[in-house]
Amino acid sequence: MGLLKKWWFWVIVVVVIAAISNSGNENGGESSSTSSSSSKSESKPDPVTENRPADEAAFIAAVQEGQTAAEGAENDMQKGAAKANRDKAVCAALSGGMQISNWTGTIADIDSNSDGKGVLSIKLANDIHVQTWNNALSDIGSDTLMEPGSDLFNKVAGMKKKMAVTFSGSFIQDDDSCIDEQSLSLDGKIKDPEFTFRFTDVNAM
């Protein structure tokens, strides 16, 4: 009877130790998993916004204010007023002139026209783009298309969509709206503007 009691005693001890060990492993696994999830959830710094120059930030803010005003407009006349105010704010943001240096963005489109000239569009923020024309006729007088074989053409040709870049160049001045914009409709000009731009340099970040 004494041996039987000892045998059951050691079985109980082993079971208890095993249960404690499993509980520790489970908690450790949960801790490790939680730590891993927390690490993954930490967002990496966005180089585009982190390195954005002050004049670009002011430009984007001016455009976004116009977009917000247009969303609350009840008719096209109010949208027209929103655009006029936006254009004035854009001009104020570009008080240093049409030329800008080392702005940041992500490549939205890389293409060529029927003559093989380079077409480029860069996204500054949601629904705000600066870009070349995509056809020779519209580009007359603007000269935004990139010439094949040029240093800029060859550099941009090796880049990809969604790549973070810095870029320099100049907007095309427009007497009516400060800078040229390519949209055909009033809604497009305010809500999703595509500003005509002549690139002089583009570099991957």
Read off the pLDDT of each residue in 66-79 and give the average, rounded to a whole number. 96
Domains belonging to the chain, first-starting first, are 98-204 (2.40.50)
- Examine the pLDDT at 21 and tell me if it is beyond 80: no
Q: Which of 62, 64, 124, 100 is nearest to 198 (CA)?
A: 100
Tell me how crowded residue 92 is: count the other CB atoms within 10 A of its CB. Answer: 12
The model's confidence at residue 82, banded by pLDDT at 50, 70 and 90, is very high
Compute the distance between CA of residue 128 and CA of residue 115 in angstroms, rounded to an integer: 27
The model's confidence at residue 68, banded by pLDDT at 50, 70 and 90, is very high
Contact in structure between 172 and 196 (CB atoms under 8 Å) = yes
| Side chain identity at residue 4, one-letter code | L
DSSP letters spanning 31-85: HHHHHHHHHHHSPPP-HHHHT--HHHHHHHHHHHHHHHHHHT-SSHHHHHHHHHH
The per-residue pLDDT for range 151-175, each reduced to its tens digit, is: 999 999 999 999 999 999 999 999 9
- Examine the pLDDT at 147 and tell me if it is beyond 90: yes
- Examine the pLDDT at 34 and tell me if it is beyond 60: no
| First-to-final CA distance of the chain | 80
- Examine the pLDDT at 23 and tell me if it is beyond 60: no
- Examine the pLDDT at 118 and tell me if it is beyond 50: yes
User: What is the pLDDT, as a whole number, of residue 11?
Assistant: 55
With pLDDT > 90 as the criterion, what percentage of the chain qualifies?
78
Mean pLDDT of the chain: 88
Q: Indicate whether this model's pTM tops 0.85.
A: no
The per-residue pLDDT for range 4-16, each reduced to its tens digit, is: 455 555 556 555 5
- Examine the pLDDT at 102 and tell me if it is beyond 90: yes
User: What is the pLDDT, as a whole number, of residue 45?
Assistant: 84
